[in-house]
Amino acid sequence: MDATWQDPARPDRPIPIKLRLPATRAPAPLVVISHGLGGSREGLGYLGAALAEAGFVALHVQHPGTDAALWQGRGAEGRQAMMAATADVRAAVARLRDGVFLLDEVARRNAARGDMLQGRVDLGRVAVAGHSFGAWTVQHLIGQRLPGQVPNLALPDRRIRAGIALSPIIPKGLPPRVAFGGVAAPLLSVTGTRDGGFIDQTTPEQREIPFQTISGVPQALLVLEGATHMAFADEGLAGARWADDTYHQRTAAVALLFLRAMLLEDATARRVLAQGAPGVIAPGDRLAVKDWPATARP
């Protein structure tokens, strides 16, 4: 279902969303899904569909100011707009406010008589997932520090119990240990051996920095052999490369294992991940965990 939700605190910022509901009407875990720069609520569809089929509520958000409107039908001007958006601090902070608003709005609708979400969401089991700029959004919502102060924005959002960062973003303006020192929720980082910078000059090796740096909460890292930056986006309007499904099934399968392990405390999922997800990932892929629950170790 597509809709537009309105944040009463920001009347000039309607938020397009796509909601995917599971077959069950019992309260289900929620995953908010954030697209990358120039993306849309249609992006990461493979992940949202897999989540809903597995019994999760998937809520795709489209972030005005960093979405497909930057480039669609604009040619070279669109490329310049994309570059400018990467340096727009207000647009970045607006993404974080979108995330907080969506959790507030889901809670309101979950309690509202007659709303299609009434009683459908388990508010004690909430996660966020995103690709590229969406990964940046995830990382900060769960506690990565911003270089400056943002009034009336308290992060991490303690309602979030797990995060998934597809093509993680390295910190700017702060050393990694300082930037990631406040991360409060488990994080799955997913990248590829060819996941270089789309706009910036980030290397595939640098995508692993969050996993290497964060400590004190369970972490998992999936590196897919041959996967590029666009391998995770699933944004068909941006061209065939952005919709290539070569890596989608493995990404979704590991993401579901991680969410079952963290949100549902599924001992089998924890054990499979601790063992490197044999039979789930392909030869050449790499899966590692750290600070993992002791009961999950093989």
Q: Which residue has the higher pLDDT, 31 or 151?
A: 31
How far is Cα 138 from Cα 35, in angstroms, rounded to an integer? Answer: 10
CA angle 198, 84, 169 (to 5 degrees): 40
- Per-residue pLDDT reduced to its tens digit, 180-231: 999 999 999 999 999 997 777 899 999 999 999 999 999 999 999 999 999 9
**Which tokens belong to 68?**
């497909």
How far is Cα 287 from Cα 40, in angstroms, rounded to an integer? Answer: 29
Q: What is the mean pLDDT of residues 79-95?
A: 85
How far is Cα 206 from Cα 114, in angstroms, rounded to an integer? Answer: 47
- Per-residue pLDDT reduced to its tens digit, 129-187: 999 999 999 999 999 999 888 888 999 999 999 999 999 999 988 999 999 999 999 99
Position 298 scores a pLDDT of 40
- Per-residue pLDDT reduced to its tens digit, 224-267: 999 999 999 999 888 888 889 999 999 999 999 999 999 999 99
Position 295 scores a pLDDT of 58
- pLDDT band for position 297 (50/70/90)? very low
Position 48 scores a pLDDT of 98
**Which tokens belong to 113?**
């008589």
Strand partners, 288: 221
pTM: 0.95
The SS3 call for residue 274 is helix
- pLDDT band for position 59 (50/70/90)? very high
Measured in degrees and rounded to the nearest 5, phi and psi for residue 189 equal -100, 130
Nearest CA-CA partner of 231 in 46, 17, 32: 46
Position 83 scores a pLDDT of 77
Nearest CA-CA partner of 254 in 236, 275, 230, 233: 275
Position 200 scores a pLDDT of 77
Measured in degrees and rounded to the nearest 5, phi and psi for residue 90 equal -65, -40
Q: Could you tell me the CATH number of the domain that includes residue 262?
A: 3.40.50.1820
How far is Cα 219 from Cα 212, in angstroms, rounded to an integer? Answer: 9
Neighbouring C-beta atoms of residue 166, cutoff 10 Å:
32
- Calculate what percentage of the chain has a pLDDT beyond 90: 82
Structurally, the chain folds into a number of domains equal to 1
Question: Could you tell me the maximum CA-CA distance found in the chain, to the nearest angstrom?
Answer: 54
How far is Cα 200 from Cα 177, in angstroms, rounded to an integer? Answer: 21
Q: Which residue has the tokens 């308290």?
A: 154
Residue 106 contacts residue 121 (beta carbons within 8 Å): yes
- Calculate what percentage of the chain has a pLDDT beyond 70: 99
In 126-279, where does DSSP find H-type helix? 133-141, 176-179, 209-213, 248-263, 267-274
Residues across the chain: 298
Considering the chain, what is the average pLDDT of its residues? Answer: 94
Neighbouring C-beta atoms of residue 111, cutoff 10 Å:
13
Structural domain boundaries, residue 86: 2-296
Residue 210 contacts residue 187 (beta carbons within 8 Å): yes
Residue 45 contacts residue 251 (beta carbons within 8 Å): no
**284-295: string of b/e by CB count within 10 Å (b at 16+)?**
ebebbbeebbee
